[in-house]
Amino acid sequence: MSLLVTAAALCVSACGRDPAPPGPQRIVVVTIDTLRADTFHGRSDGAASAMPRSLDRARGGLDFRRFYASSASTLPTHASLLTGLHPWDHGVTRNGLVLDEAHETLAERLRAAGFRTSAIVSSLPVSARFGLARGFERYHDEFREQVGSRPFYTLGPDAIAQALAELDAADAAGSERQFLWLHLFDPHAPYGDASGDEDPLLFPVLQLAASSNSADFDDVLARARRLYRQDATALDTALEVLYERLERDAERLATLLVVTSDHGESFADDGSLGHGSTVSDAQLRVPCFLTGPGLAPAERDDPAGTVDLATTILDWARPADRRPLGAGTSLLDPERSPAVAFGMLRTFESDPRRLERTPDGTWAWQPLPDHLFYTRRPAALLGGNEDALAYGTELAAAEADELRRLFTVFRERLEDGGTVLELLDEESQDALESLGYTR
């Protein structure tokens, strides 16, 4: 049976949501690290989706085509997902910082409403030490794959097996309200480790080929793209067992499934490599779909972002405390007014550069201004410059003025953010950098 259980539907309509108390519920949030929107939905050049099974599920629910991550880094976006706050509000503007206990999380709200709360995370940047575990009764952050001398990440099949074990445990305990967050790492560099068809390509190899103007950079880049897509496809296959489990259980547990990503990945198509370094569709535009009772299939083109998910989940679950969480709005509200800004990007790079092809066919890094800002059009404002850069549309003068105002507020909030605890030792930072993370 499909997750779109129409019996006992929790209707979403222009006249509002059904106020009747819900029955047994299960909420499953899957975040896929480093997944580009065009890898999921297919590219404009005709390349098919690398995740056809998941895309098929998306078509059975609310499939958001203009969804933007809160940042191009793992920890800040996940902190936004769990708090509903923009990074400049919760203070976690890069990996290695700790989410302040003053910020309420989705897991805390749901646990207070009687949900059994569990999380399985698959990489060090979202391990419990950084504050995301608050509200979770069980938080699995033991990693299997080594980077240097340190276990750093876990691949999809192992993480999904843990998720299924958590569902089994919740069922065995008779839990009628369940919240599970599953974070998956597979598309992230090293490229090719999840598919296992050939030796993985380490991110520093790609960086070195670009920085040295290597004649074979185009070949290395093409291989990175191919292996990245293979990893996404391997994960898509691995996820099938989770999807099927949720569908089998949907008759007894009204199930909301949310699938999204924390950021995308650049392969020189936007002048950068990896993520965390620039603002672009490649790094900020990510897939997001929701399936569940009352969610009629629809392809949504209204702008949405990570900060909207916590309030959306609460709107669907309807606990006694239904206050919006953070700055977002419910994606289930027919009268929803989208937030103006969805993402911040560069807050930690001291020498931002853009990768450009030169007239002689080689590649070179060119200096780039230090801050960019992303908005709902979608558009980007170039910090310290009166010119506004728009993706696919021109900015009206009033919009450009508003962007400049928001950008000023954004910078002030970062500068006045107070003391944020950092827990990132040198060995961890070395491991992060070897996988393409920047600070």
**How many angstroms separate the Cα of 237 from the Cα of each of 186, 240, 243?**
12, 6, 10
pLDDT of residue 4 exceeding 50 = no
Q: Hey, where are the domains in the chain? A: 25-339
Q: Quote the pLDDT of residue 377.
A: 34
Please list, residue by residue across 122-149, b when 16 or more beta carbons sit within 10 angstroms of its beta carbon and e when fewer do. Answer: bbbbbbeebbbbbbbeebbbebebebee
Is residue 8 very low, low, confident or very high in pLDDT (cuts 50, 70, 90)? very low
Is residue 405 very low, low, confident or very high in pLDDT (cuts 50, 70, 90)? low
Q: Quote the pLDDT of residue 97.
A: 87
Q: Quote the pLDDT of residue 365.
A: 67
pLDDT of residue 71 exceeding 90 = no
Q: Quote the pLDDT of residue 438.
A: 55
Q: Quote the pLDDT of residue 215.
A: 76
Phi and psi at residue 151, in whole multiples of 5°? Answer: -60, 125
Q: Quote the pLDDT of residue 306.
A: 92
Q: Quote the pLDDT of residue 226.
A: 97
Tell me the torsion sign for CA atoms 410, 412, 418, 419: positive
As assigned by CATH, the class of the 25-339 domain is alpha beta
- Are 137 and 116 in contact, with CB atoms under 8 Å apart? yes
* Max avg pLDDT among 35-49, 81-95, 374-388, 422-436: 35-49
pLDDT of residue 427 exceeding 50 = yes
Is residue 168 very low, low, confident or very high in pLDDT (cuts 50, 70, 90)? very high
Please list, residue by residue across 103-113, b when 16 or more beta carbons sit within 10 angstroms of its beta carbon and e when fewer do. Answer: bbbbbbbbbeb
* Residues constituting the chain: 439
Give the mean model confidence (pLDDT) for residues 57-62.
97
CA distance 253 to 389: 46
pLDDT of residue 72 exceeding 90 = no
Is residue 426 very low, low, confident or very high in pLDDT (cuts 50, 70, 90)? confident
Give the mean model confidence (pLDDT) for residues 145-152.
85
- Are 388 and 375 in contact, with CB atoms under 8 Å apart? no
pLDDT of residue 92 exceeding 70 = yes
What amino acid is encoded at 341 in this protein?
A
Residue 301 CB coordination number (10 Å)? 10
CA distance 313 to 38: 25
Tell which residue, 317, 286, 324, 282, has the closest CA to residue 304: 286
Is residue 201 very low, low, confident or very high in pLDDT (cuts 50, 70, 90)? very high
More confident residue, 343 or 66: 66
CA distance 327 to 234: 35
pLDDT of residue 198 exceeding 70 = yes
Q: Quote the pLDDT of residue 86.
A: 82
pLDDT of residue 120 exceeding 70 = yes
pLDDT of residue 255 exceeding 90 = yes
Strand-strand pairing, 62-64 and 288-291 = antiparallel
Tell which residue, 184, 189, 173, has the closest CA to residue 276: 189
Find the range with the poorest average confidence among 39-53, 90-104, 368-382.
368-382
Tell which residue, 437, 276, 409, has the closest CA to residue 346: 276
Q: Quote the pLDDT of residue 412.
A: 62
Residue 215 CB coordination number (10 Å)? 10
CA distance 435 to 272: 15
Is residue 286 very low, low, confident or very high in pLDDT (cuts 50, 70, 90)? very high
323: burial class by Cβ within 10 Å (0-12, 13-18, 19+)? exposed
Find the range with the poorest average confidence among 166-180, 305-319, 363-377.
363-377
CA distance 395 to 435: 36
Residues in CB range of 320: below 8 A, 6 or more apart:
113
DSSP classification of residue 270: T
Give the mean model confidence (pLDDT) for residues 84-98.
85
pLDDT of residue 348 exceeding 60 = no
Q: Quote the pLDDT of residue 93.
A: 79
The three-state DSSP-derived secondary structure of 50-85 is CCHHHHHHHHCCEEECCEECCCCCHHHHHHHHHHCC
pLDDT of residue 26 exceeding 70 = yes
- Are 289 and 37 in contact, with CB atoms under 8 Å apart? no
pLDDT of residue 239 exceeding 80 = yes
pLDDT of residue 82 exceeding 70 = yes
Find the range with the poorest average confidence among 56-60, 108-112, 203-207, 345-349.
345-349
pLDDT tens sequence across 205-228: 998 888 776 778 899 999 999 999
More confident residue, 169 or 69: 169
Give the mean model confidence (pLDDT) for residues 3-24.
43
Give the mean model confidence (pLDDT) for residues 53-63.
98
Q: Quote the pLDDT of residue 368.
A: 52
Find the range with the poorest average confidence among 239-253, 313-327, 328-342.
328-342
How high does pLDDT run on average in the chain?
81
Percent of the chain whose predicted confidence (pLDDT) is above 70: 73
